[in-house]
Structure 1
Amino acid sequence: MGSVVKWRKKKMSKHQHKKLLKKTRWQRRHP
């Protein structure tokens, strides 16, 4: 069970990073 929680956390952080990247890219294009 512990490994599943770890895996979910990993996926969430990865997804959040993608979201953050998209946000910064949009801001750079439209200052």
Structure 2
Amino acid sequence: MGSLVKKRRKKMRRHKYRKMLKRYRRRKRP
């Protein structure tokens, strides 16, 4: 079960990072 939670957390973390990156890119755009 522990590994499953870890995997799920990793996926969520990646998604959050992707969303943040998109936001940052938009802000950087002139």
User: TM-score, normalization: structure 1?
Assistant: 0.85
Q: Any stretches of 5+ residues in structure 2 without a counterpart? A: none
State the match for 2:2 in structure 1: 2
In angstroms, what is the RMSD of aligned CA positions?
0.8
User: TM-score, normalization: structure 2?
Assistant: 0.87
How many matched pairs? 30
State the match for 1:14 in structure 2: 14
Q: Any stretches of 5+ residues in structure 1 without a counterpart? A: none
What percent of counterpart residues are identical? 50
The structure 1 segments of at least 4 consecutive aligned residues displaced by more than 3 Å after TM superposition are none
